[in-house]
Chains A and B, each alone.
Chain A
């Protein structure tokens, strides 16, 4: 019996970049197959081709042994391919049932003109039960949490009798419990003969749920392995292509005086958060999704209101009500989502770099375009930002280079305390190393870095100390000699000691 899906020698080239070179992927019926690789490796492109959102330049795709030419997203759906994107395809104002049956609402008495709501709600209830989501199908989707919306998308895939369900980084915004529910549903689908392609770069999850895995790097297939038979070292070798200790250029830095002291921050989400950070140190903040790390960062930066408590910067009490205040006091926040929160994509690299410190390139409100150009050129060189010139619109840069532009912006703001939320999310390995190097340089200059991350290796590799958050409070603190993934996770899940 032929495998359910065969993608052979897929080629895809974008202007200036070979995204996929001769990539082959085979998935059997009822298999959970992981597609692994760092960002920029080609996973998304390959899946978009399968889902009909991109057109391949070369190669053959076979479903159930028959060669297919996927013309578009609708065609892919008809062929039995369902893809659940990271940014979910849910329309908030519509009900859960309507989202499941979007574009395919059941008709009354076979008449094409009238919708049979009763049938729609009934079948939705059944589908929701199958994926384990106990919600009234008439509920507006806006009332659902992200994890539940994902379940709705899975229900949608089941409804469409999908043979292959592609899940693109499904656990990014999920809590531990929600991840478990997702896995349970995946196993259920598997038992019904549905194949799942699990796109991720999180090894731990892959080890738990996947049968086999294909690893991509730099647009090429590195290998396909049986998950159970692969060791950690093998994984790293395949995905990163180099040894782990080369990844983190951490050198000890003499700790300076206290740079930031936070006392009893209380808000709707945060409970009695207190800690301090020193000059020359990288303070890591760990915790599960929803534990309040980003909320804490935004609160300290003045981007989120409604908190009480005191903040001292360099020993002096600070009043931070808006991001503007924070910047004045030398605090910077490199946000989680660089495209939505970090960059103005329609503006040029140069304009983005100076955005947080327009005063530096202007006098009495009037811009000095020449000095701005010099500043931009300097940072492009110093951070090795890949761009033909600084007038390039930010939207045209790759993820890693966009992140560097955001970092450049905050470096130019001359902040003493940098809060970085997920510094290397969505960035390829090469750029990651450069960014870690940059962080090391900054602390050597006496700056303070507060690094929020969901990547444990990153936290362990770069931090001097780590505080772990759990449900809005500081659950524990670890010094460098106490670092370990187990220690962090046990604090993060509040397992009592």
Chain B
């Protein structure tokens, strides 16, 4: 059977090729409709409540804050698509930030373990990224090779890596006296009017979309999440794909941590605490299923922005932080519930 021959089947299959355009697009559109509509409704609502909301400066603020969570959310999407989860991202975030900061010239800390060694800024960043990748690799390795659930494995590494962070930093923050301009650019710079964290986020999104839609790795991720056994029996190297997914998550968590430490000009050992929940919330609100096999980077971006808009909007409106907590929590439940309900009715 050779697909490159057989002209006569082409006529019969003409109506099959058209959908590469239309049905595909239509499918993707409806998939993202709920979070998109939600986001638009939020924006409209908040603009009506407060005139300060609808300004370029404010949107840039939203983007800058959302980028930190967003970079990690892209990695988390891929992990969740394989049917797994990573609770250790907050800890990796902190450790990578601390490690990179310690190697930046001009950094200062009371910690005994922080070496006086200085590396050129790009190299220091690279070291941090490598640390993140290694943590991700360990997560992926244990999850792939043992049968322990990802929730538990990453729960354990979360504690472990947080401990390492405290160990490394001695519990002290690393500050900069002064911060070299190259590193300052990473978190506080501007490119064409956009804050650099947002540029990084945009790049990560682009790479994420490319990976999930156009690479064999991405296809394997969806397959494993959809049916791991069938994927294995189809020759997919399940263990290796999982290891790569968690390693990617690790490097993105590290990147985000490094960007933040540049932004706030300090690397705190408590950085990233509870961030994993914001990241997962963003992914889930966007519509990706925790069971795996269903979801996309685009929906995660929508979810992250929904959360970002909520936080920002409420700050502008002057709602005290606590009320924000209450509303954010309820909105998460509401958004996911709505999505689940629509999915159920769609099935018929």
Contacts and interface: CB of A to CB of B under 8 A. Distances in A.
Complex contact flag A–B (Cβ < 8 Å): yes
Interface in A350-392: 351, 355-356, 358-359, 362, 365-367, 369-370, 373-382, 389-391
A391 B3 contact: no
Interface string B220-244: 1011011101111111110000000
A429 interface: no
B13 interface: yes
B207 to A, nearest CB: 13
B20 A370 contact: yes
A448 to B, nearest CB: 15
A382 B9 contact: yes
A442 B20 CA distance: 30
A343 B230 CA distance: 6
A385 to B, nearest CB: 10
B215 A366 contact: yes
Contact of A345 (B13, B226, B233): B226
A42 B324 CA distance: 55
B242 to A, nearest CB: 14
A390 B12 CA distance: 13
A367 B214 contact: yes
A344 B222 CA distance: 9
Nearest to A357: B235
A174 interface: no
A369 B219 CA distance: 11
Contacts of B236: 324, 355
A326 interface: yes
B3 A378 contact: yes
A389 B227 contact: no
Contacts of B225: 346
A412 interface: yes
B90 interface: no
Nearest to B12: A381
Contact of A344 (B18, B218, B231, B235): B231
Closest 3 CB pairs of A and B: A381-B9, A344-B226, A378-B3
Interface string A439-450: 001100100000
Contacts of B18: 389
Given A358-B219, A367-B216, A377-B9, A344 B230 contact: yes
25 contacts: A301-B233, A322-B237, A340-B230, A341-B229, A341-B230, A344-B223, A345-B226, A346-B222, A346-B227, A346-B294, A347-B222, A347-B226, A351-B219, A362-B216, A366-B216, A367-B216, A367-B219, A370-B20, A375-B3, A377-B13, A378-B6, A390-B16, A391-B24, A412-B1, A445-B1
Nearest to A335: B233
Interface string A418-447: 000000000000000000000001100100
B158 to A, nearest CB: 29
B106 interface: no
A185 to B, nearest CB: 33
Contacts of B232: 303, 323
A365 B216 contact: yes
A347 B20 contact: no
B217 A365 contact: yes
A333 interface: yes
Contacts of B27: 391
A436 to B, nearest CB: 16
A260 interface: no
Given A347-B223, A391-B24, A369 B233 contact: no
A358 B216 contact: yes
A346 B293 contact: yes
A340 B18 CA distance: 30
A344 B292 CA distance: 12
Given A324-B237, A390-B16, A391-B23, A344 B1 contact: no
Contacts of B9: 377-378, 381-382
A342 interface: yes
B55 interface: no
A213 interface: no
Contacts of B227: 340, 343-346
A293 interface: no
A411 interface: yes
Contacts of B122: none
Interface in A300-349: 301, 303, 322-324, 326-327, 333, 335, 340-347
Contacts of B220: 358
B237 A389 contact: no
Most buried by A among B13, B19, B232: B13
Contact of B234 (A356, A359, A365): A356
A333 B229 CA distance: 13
A12 interface: no
B147 interface: no
A191 to B, nearest CB: 43
Nearest to A327: B235
Interface in A393-413: 409, 411-413
A379 B1 CA distance: 9
A374 B3 contact: yes
Interface string B146-184: 000000000000000000000000000000000000000
Nearest to A358: B216
Nearest to B8: A381
A342 B233 contact: yes
Given A323-B232, A346-B226, A358-B219, A380 B13 contact: yes
A231 B136 CA distance: 67
Nearest to B11: A381
Given A367-B214, A379-B3, A390-B16, A333 B233 contact: yes
A378 to B, nearest CB: 4
A408 to B, nearest CB: 9
Given A365-B217, A380-B16, A344 B293 contact: yes
Most buried by B among A340, A358, A379, A411: A358
